[in-house]
Amino acid sequence: MATDLYTHPDYFNMDDLLSEEHKLVRETTRSWVKQNVSPIIEDYYERAAFPEHLVKQLGEIGAFGPYIPETYGGPGLDQISYGLIMQELERCDSGLRSTSSVQSSLVMYPIWKYGNEDQRQKYLPKLATGEFLGCFGLTEPDHGSNPGGMISNFKDMGDHYLLNGAKMWISNAPKADIAVVWAKNEEGRIHGLIVEKGMEGFSAPEMKGKHSLRASITGELIFDNVKVPKENLLPNKSGLGAPLGCLDSARFGIAWGALGSAMDCYDQALRYSKERTQFNVPIGAFQLTQKKLAEMITEITKAQLLTFRLGQLRNEGKATSAQISMAKRNNVEIALKIAREARQILGGMGITNEYSVMRHMANLESVVTYEGTHDIHLLITGMDVTGIPAFTREMPNK
Ligand code: TGC
Ligand code: FAD
């Protein structure tokens, strides 16, 4: 890949709204990415290899649990800082952001919010430094958009729980030291359990053959009569709202992150349009190229405003799940469109690994599906504005 020349577009002077701390956090992440990830990411992506050596470094730059309080080893930053870190990581690669946002929002967040003090002290500092890598098991082979139908279950055996079931599509799973797993108890109530690598009957085989998110590692979680100690149950929240609460935090990070991919694609397309000459003029002189660039920067600016306001609301504890859902859906959708347009501006070069645009495009095909598909998020907004859920329907009689 060519030298990473990225600078972020800021058409509406959004930087004026950021504090000095926000800018420092962004700069720290960006320079770490440029120095340590940009030179290697295409190679890892092509080989579908997980850059495991970056895990501890992500801990060092504060990208694991940015908003987790210092008492538990986190940097104690605000939500906008969290968003900016996700933006800088996904600006480079969605898989890199996945590694970080799963650890932060789907592993550290539930332990912090739903765990007891012993669990927080035991796991959070190690997760913050990257000594431990975690994963989050909600999706099952037959229950993706409808996680409430899960069949993974645990029984109370007196001195321990016995866990059975299977999860699939789990980011970080094959390399994870711990898994936050959602399963039903004998009454059918969903609870979170911390399952540790090495527990008998627990395995996490890698899922291969992905054409997207190739630098992120994905796996199954298989539980065959796994004895889980009773102290590993997250005691402070149960029901489907518990995992969905974690998704609020992760979807917030994705809204910022996907925008990072869009900003990178625009930055590369704009630069290329000024350098590449055809018919004796830079291709940026053609009205059709300018239309593409004008639409890209307009959508990026709208998404930046949406995302920043969402960050303010989240800092105040006022962001609703539906607002977060809208931002995730919108920003991933515009990022995908921008990646496709940017690839066209780059012509044939756009399909090569000299540029990150095609990789972003392929990655975003996962991002538009995970953490709730585009259509599920449309239905969440639809339900919010009408008050009528449209997730299920009766099958017509034959
Ligand atoms: P429903 O009856 O609507 O809700 C059940 C209970 O949950 C509450 N709730 C929420 N709570 C917190 N945050 C949210 N976002 C919430 N949404 C709903 C709700 O109030 C209710 O509470 P209670 O007390 O009344 O019981 O549930 P439903 O079964 O009808 O489903 C609703 C639906 C479809 C929106 C939901 O299931 C959904 O979001 N489905 C999408 C599944 C999904 O996003 N899976 C993500 C898996 S993790 C992942 O993809 C990680 S990728 C990571 C990476 O690599 O970056
Ligand atoms: P399905 O739910 O089968 O959906 C298929 C299609 O049907 C979609 O277009 C969907 O929009 C549509 N559909 C479904 N229900 C409705 C409805 N009611 N109305 C209209 N249309 C509907 N999960 C985890 O738990 N942890 C992870 O770490 C994780 N990481 C992932 C990493 C990757 C790379 C990928 C691809 C997925 C990951 N997932 C993870 C799983 C992800 O959350 C699911 O793929 C997602 O929720 C969709 O589920 P599904 O793939 O089973 O699709």
pLDDT in tens, 82-118: 999 999 999 999 999 999 999 999 999 999 999 999 9
Cα-to-centroid distance, 11 and ligand 2 (Å): 34
CATH classification of the domain holding 43: 1.10.540.10
Average pLDDT, rounded, for the chain: 97
Cα-to-centroid distance, 202 and ligand 2 (Å): 23
| Residue 100 near ligand 1, beta carbon < 6 Å | no
Amino acid at 120: R
Minimum-distance ligand to the CA of 144?
A: 2
Do 219 and 292 fall within a single domain? Answer: no
| Residue 247 near ligand 1, beta carbon < 6 Å | yes
Instruction: Give the number of the atom of ligand 1 that is nearest the alpha carbon of residue 370.
Output: 50
pLDDT of residue 393: 84
Range(s) of the domain holding residue 195: 135-232
Q: Which of the listed residues 325, 370, 383 should we mutate to test ligand 2's pocket, taking the one with most ligand atoms within 8 A of CB?
A: 370
Query: Whose CA is closest to atom 39 on ligand 2?
Result: 169
In whole angstroms, give the CA distance from residue 40 to residue 174: 21
pLDDT of residue 396: 78
Nearest of 80, 63, 61 to residue 15 by alpha carbon: 80
CATH classification of the domain holding 186: 2.40.110.10
Instruction: Give the number of the atom of ligand 1 that is nearest the alpha carbon of residue 254.
Output: 56
Do 121 and 176 fall within a single domain? Answer: no
Examine residue 118 and state whether it is found in any structural domain, yes or no. Answer: yes
Minimum-distance ligand to the CA of 101?
A: 1
Residues of the chain with pLDDT under 50: none
| Residue 213 near ligand 2, beta carbon < 6 Å | yes
Examine residue 82 and state whether it is found in any structural domain, yes or no. Answer: yes
| Residue 182 near ligand 2, beta carbon < 6 Å | no
Minimum-distance ligand to the CA of 135?
A: 2
Minimum-distance ligand to the CA of 362?
A: 2
pLDDT of residue 262: 98
Query: Whose CA is closest to atom 22 on ligand 1?
Result: 241
Do 279 and 373 fall within a single domain? Answer: yes
Do 205 and 265 fall within a single domain? Answer: no
Examine residue 293 and state whether it is found in any structural domain, yes or no. Answer: yes
Do 104 and 166 fall within a single domain? Answer: no
| Residue 375 near ligand 2, beta carbon < 6 Å | yes
Do 203 and 190 fall within a single domain? Answer: yes
| Residue 370 near ligand 2, beta carbon < 6 Å | yes
Cα-to-centroid distance, 382 and ligand 1 (Å): 15
Query: Whose CA is closest to atom 23 on ligand 1?
Result: 241
pTM here is 0.98
Q: What is the DSSP letter of 230?
A: G
Tell me the sheet residues that pair with 165: 223
In whole angstroms, give the CA distance from residue 368 to residue 341: 17
pLDDT of residue 1: 59
Q: Which residues are catalytic?
A: 371
Tell how strand 134-137 and strand 218-229 pair up.
unpaired
pLDDT of residue 284: 98
Do 186 and 273 fall within a single domain? Answer: no
What is the crossing angle of helices 241-275 and 321-345, to 10°? 20
Examine residue 61 and state whether it is found in any structural domain, yes or no. Answer: yes
Query: Whose CA is closest to atom 21 on ligand 2?
Result: 375
Based on the structure, what is the number of domains in the chain? 3
CATH classification of the domain holding 339: 1.20.140.10
Residue 183 · residue 239 · CB < 8 Å: no
- Spacing of C-alpha 203 from chain mean position: 23
Do 347 and 255 fall within a single domain? Answer: yes
| Residue 313 near ligand 1, beta carbon < 6 Å | no
pLDDT of residue 398: 64
pLDDT of residue 90: 98
Q: What are the start-end ranges of the E strands in the chain?
A: 134-137, 153-156, 160-171, 178-184, 190-196, 202-203, 218-229, 277-278, 281-282
pLDDT of residue 300: 98
Domain end residue (candidates: 98, 133, 168) = 133
* Lookup: tokens for 27: 């700069």
Cα-to-centroid distance, 211 and ligand 2 (Å): 16
- Spacing of C-alpha 19 from chain mean position: 24
Rounding to the nearest 10 degrees, give the CA dihedral for residues 65, 67, 69, 74.
30
Examine residue 394 and state whether it is found in any structural domain, yes or no. Answer: no
Examine residue 397 and state whether it is found in any structural domain, yes or no. Answer: no
| Residue 322 near ligand 1, beta carbon < 6 Å | no
Q: How many CA atoms lie within 13 A of 396 on its CB side?
A: 1
Cα-to-centroid distance, 239 and ligand 1 (Å): 10
Query: Whose CA is closest to atom 43 on ligand 2?
Result: 370
